[in-house]
Structure 1
């Protein structure tokens, strides 16, 4: 008789097992050379080295996904702006908000 595989692990439990990993790993990495999928580590494509940290672009994408910005008052899913002009990055206060929301 072979090994029977049980039901897939619920997402809430899977998240607990990944608690040591940066929460930004829950989104795919938009950093051009990396492009790691969600829940995978960022890598250096040239040599295949796995990075201990995630790319800043991934942290910013995660921040936009999960947190409101106290600086420019946008909701999750909306990029930050400065007086209507879109920013290439996110406000530092929004990153702090995302970390606090996660805790």
Structure 2
């Protein structure tokens, strides 16, 4: 174990967490800008993005396997628009973000 002087700062590797990929889009709920965390009405930062931001990220980055729409196009159920995306589209967006993160580390 390494000893540090009392009051010394922690190494950056211990207190930097990777950002959630959904932070790449503007939050439709709290209007947080891309790259910024979601906040509450009182201005407190949230540890996780709002569900609406997760849906917006999935819609912007992934094709939907359920209704076969391209990225940027909202999901639908037999022609009727959905308020959110299909669950399988969230998985597609997560897989795409994971692959991109792996490529960036290489």
State the TM bucket, normalised to the shorter chain.
Answer: 0.7 to 0.9
Out of 71, 77, 83, the position equivalent to 2:72 is 77
Higher-Rg member (1/2): 2
Whole-angstrom distance in 2 between the partners of 1:88 and 1:44 = 22
Query: 1:30 Cα shift?
Result: 0.2
Aligned length, in residue pairs? 83
SS in 1 for 2:31: coil
| Runs of 5+ unmatched residues, structure 2 | 1-15, 99-106
Q: Aligned Cα RMSD in Å?
A: 1.3
Structure 1 runs (4+) greater than 6 angstroms displaced: none
How high is the TM-score relative to the length of structure 2? Answer: 0.75
Out of 44, 48, 58, the position equivalent to 1:49 is 44
Q: Name 2:101's counterpart in structure 1.
A: none
Out of 9, 15, 20, the position equivalent to 2:18 is 20
